[in-house]
Chain A
């Protein structure tokens, strides 16, 4: 008879769901009440690699800079609660409500500018409707300029240079290279890719009006499996440099496509390293792939920074420090709480405005009060295996910094008209 088998399977199926609840990791118990921080980033799905790595780096930073030193405000440790938003705006809302329901008032998030924009406006709305339980938002990676321009918010603090700032550094580097005369721009067709496209055209025109933009292509995000048709267009355009904001699988495919086609041109990117991309590009990408980013790559500037990377590698051999800005954000949060003498979001926000802090890499970063944007030096690094002390993906290849823009030269104007709440 089928029926008993069905009962067995019902217990089986049902229990998988119910009993899997039992798996939980108990948070460490401290004497003083912890300050809880929600880390909302994708932990499953297509972009899990970045989100999981980010979560590991967050916890490591919290342990290294705060908890191992006894916490803040006389012994209160930080407690990180990782929540999976599956890179979806909808799920981000659900996780935000979960965090609110748990009484968490500090949120870290960064992956996908689209999600960040939604998160920022949700938090703004929530804080307006619930002034007794406000939330402060630390954006560690979403670089669409709009978040500190038209959509700037008092409760949002960004810890990565935004796209226009990075493009400024990148185009300055390109402009200094007389061999580059024809540039092809290709990107993912969404807000960030469009920003890269428009800003690159504008900036190159200012700095090197003789450079010809021979192509400006936007492709559907995450859908193109084979970039060869696009590469054909790049080749036939006669470009001698390619600029792209692509990330994830799109970046890998594009990079491989260019190299396979034998196109020997420098490729300027935002995100063509780590999380498996470096190991895939490997030898073929040597001296071609370039990235613009914050926090200098090889050679690392201070012993503290080297030691930090080493210790992280010991704990997590298969991950790298890919988002050192998370550590900066944690340090600044701790400093702001100590300065304000309280963990209330409004007090933290006020304390962080205009704050200056020295990072473990030895440079001073500045959180501008006008738009809550961080300013730090920017670097352009090249993918290679020479002089690489700290490699990526355990592949022997890594990033070596070849061009630096000091912090003063990265400061741009903002159109933000921030509305500040009272108390």
Chain B
């Protein structure tokens, strides 16, 4: 029991922090520009694929630096020539644009890299078990992932609260027009923030590629969860994103690790049904089965009762 709990916590931590890496970029972009970037998970995918190709020639570590930069450049270009153009057509148009972009990036990736899974491996240096607990190895690479995610959080937090540019960005969260009136080159800041946000997503891809497998559907798999996190955590709050990511990572991990289900609850209450009862599916539901939908349940509940999210400062 204790071993299941320990590993479940560890797993949840790793997943949650990875999700945070993705969510941090998105929440940054959203705070700045008010646009929910559907293509954010696609930048994540691009990061993984770029890193895969680069690592084939130069190795993992150069890829770790170069790939996110490349993705950041792509993001900046998308903002400058695409998003900015669409901005004047309104928020709906922006959302739909990023939606189309996500679709397009997936197709472009398949065009250049093909449709099969890519053999993107973690670096040899990290390919060893860090420790063995209760007979199961904990790979050093996962510890590396945790380390990078936490560094990003600390780095971002520092930049946002202690540096000048960070103050400007924070101000832009709540008073975007005033910031422009004060003479800052808001379009340039927009482009830079979008680029940095995308680079963060790309970095997440570089790190997660070997673990979560690199294949054309990888953006779809994470895309909606990241939105859930940003909304639950609160639109525009970095801490909210961290808390929400960890919450969801741990929740899913514990749900899968448990073996309980509706049956146990019913047994506790002394009720039982025959196996051909019309609502049999509901009575036999297990917690692992509904683990993937728990985040969405949480999303709907939060949106109904606290639309600004847990730590949010602004609604839309």
Contact = CB atoms under 8 A, between A and B. Distances in A.
Q: Do chains A and B directly touch (beta carbons under 8 Å) in the complex?
A: yes
A67 interface: no
Nearest to B212: A225
A232 B11 contact: yes
Interface stretch (B60-68, B111-119, B154-162): B111-119
A93 interface: no
Interface string B3-18: 1100110010011000
A253 B4 contact: no
Interface in B122-171: 129, 132, 134-137, 139
Contacts of B116: 49, 275-276
A232 B217 contact: no
Interface stretch (A73-81, A277-285, A375-383): A277-285
A229 B136 contact: no
A235 B134 contact: yes
B263 interface: no
A210 interface: no
A223 B292 contact: yes
B298 interface: no
B256 interface: yes
B222 A225 contact: yes
Contacts of A228: 7, 11, 14
Contacts of A275: 116-117
Contact of A231 (B14, B15, B136, B216): B136
Contacts of A232: 3-4, 7-8, 11, 136, 257
A232 B257 CA distance: 8
B135 A223 contact: no
A286 to B, nearest CB: 15
A260 to B, nearest CB: 5
Contact of B117 (A218, A229, A262, A280): A280
A253 B210 CA distance: 10
A49 B115 contact: yes
A280 B288 CA distance: 27
A260 B15 contact: no
A259 to B, nearest CB: 10
A49 B135 CA distance: 36
Contact of A48 (B115, B118, B253): B115
Contacts of A225: 212, 221-222
Contacts of B43: none
A214 to B, nearest CB: 12
Given A232-B136, A262-B129, A253 B213 contact: yes
Interface on chain A toward B: helix, strand, loop, or mixed SS?
Answer: helix
B49 interface: no
B31 to A, nearest CB: 27
A100 interface: no
A318 to B, nearest CB: 8
A189 B256 contact: no
A230 B289 contact: no
Contacts of B119: 276, 279-280, 282, 395
Residue in A52, A228, A253, A395 with the greatest tally of chain B CB atoms within 10 Å: A228
B257 A256 contact: no
Interface string A195-225: 0000000000000000000000111101111
Given A220-B289, A230-B256, A261 B136 contact: yes
A267 B100 CA distance: 41
Interface string A267-303: 0000000011101101000000000000000000000
B215 interface: yes
A235 B136 CA distance: 6
B211 interface: yes
A222 B134 CA distance: 29
A303 to B, nearest CB: 30
Interface string B249-267: 0001100110100000000
Contact of B132 (A46, A222, A262): A262
B257 A233 contact: yes
Nearest to B255: A229
A78 to B, nearest CB: 27
Interface string A392-423: 00010000000000000000000000000000
A224 B253 CA distance: 11
Contacts of A230: 256
A276 B221 contact: no
B217 A249 contact: yes
Given A230-B256, A231-B136, A189 B11 contact: no
A218 B253 CA distance: 16
Contacts of A218: 289
A263 B136 contact: yes
Given A222-B217, A225-B221, 19 more contacts: A46-B216, A49-B117, A224-B292, A226-B14, A229-B8, A232-B4, A232-B7, A232-B257, A235-B136, A236-B3, A252-B215, A253-B213, A261-B136, A262-B132, A262-B136, A263-B136, A275-B116, A276-B118, A282-B119
15 contacts: A46-B216, A49-B117, A218-B289, A222-B217, A223-B292, A226-B211, A226-B212, A228-B11, A232-B7, A232-B11, A235-B135, A236-B3, A260-B137, A275-B116, A276-B215
> 3 closest Cβ contacts across the A-B interface?
A262-B137, A276-B116, A276-B117
Interface of B: 3-4, 7-8, 11, 14-15, 115-119, 129, 132, 134-137, 139, 211-213, 215-217, 221-222, 252-253, 256-257, 259, 288-289, 292
Interface of A: 46, 48-49, 52, 189, 217-220, 222-226, 228-233, 235-236, 249, 252-253, 256, 260-263, 275-277, 279-280, 282, 395
